[in-house]
Amino acid sequence: LGGWVAALAAAALPQWRQSSYAGDAIITAVGLHEGLWMSCAAQSTGQVQCRLHDSLLSLDVHIQTSRALMVISLLLGFFGIIVSVVGMKCTKVGEEDPVTKSRIAVAGGVLFVVSGLCTLAAVSLYATQVTYEFFRESSIPINARYEFGSALFIGWGAASLTMLGGSLLCCSCPAKARRGQQYYQQSQPSMAREYV
């Protein structure tokens, strides 16, 4: 649940990349941030102005792909939460059979793992593009380029938490049914014969 909330925060935050402070001439008057949904400019006075991205189709491919992956991740995580709650032993919802409830919990764990993988793919794809643009040979000075923003680190943490939680739920997989065979401890027959 914590991983899903962190993924939601990472998707909403506009700090996926921020203006770089590397190089000789450091510009501190304006800090630029860009995210999946908007770009912001923070003045040194504390005033922040944000603007939503104008057109969906004019965005770069990596932003569109990261958006889609984050939305898919949030949807899978939401359904994973619902399925996992139904599969918990402490809830009265669903079947009373413990094997069925364990299988439902495993299904929720699989949804969480896939959700975490989508978050990881989205954040890593965006980070790869930021890294490529930072080190690319261009006429843009190094202090006008972009670096990793805080939302990327939140996204990596969210992916790790979500995949860890999903893996723990997958470990609750029930053992194979014994097909009705029950084993009882039988008392050993006495070796000494009693003569009457």
Question: Higher pLDDT residue, 187 or 119?
Answer: 119
CA count, 13 A, side-chain hemisphere, 83: 21
The residue type at 2: G
Compute φ and ψ for 55, nearest 5 degrees: -120, 140
CA 112 – CA 164 distance, rounded (Å): 9
Task: State percent of the chain over pLDDT 70.
Answer: 76
Q: Taking the CB of residue 85, how many other CB atoms lie within 10 A of it? A: 16
Q: Which of 24, 3, 6, 48 is nearest to 151 (CA)?
A: 6
**Domain map (residue ranges) of the chain:** 1-13+57-174
Terminal CA-CA length for the chain: 72
3-state secondary structure of 56: coil
pLDDT one-digit tens code per residue, 22-51: 555 555 566 788 888 888 887 777 777 888
Per-residue pLDDT at 92 exceeds 60: yes
40-44, 103-107, 185-189: which range is least confident on average? 185-189
Which range is least confidently modeled, 22-36, 46-60, 76-90? Answer: 22-36
Architecture of domain 1-13+57-174: Up-down Bundle (1.20)
Task: Check if the beta carbon of residue 102 is closer than 8 Å to that of residue 170.
Answer: no
pLDDT band at 164 (very low <50, low <70, confident <90, very high): very high
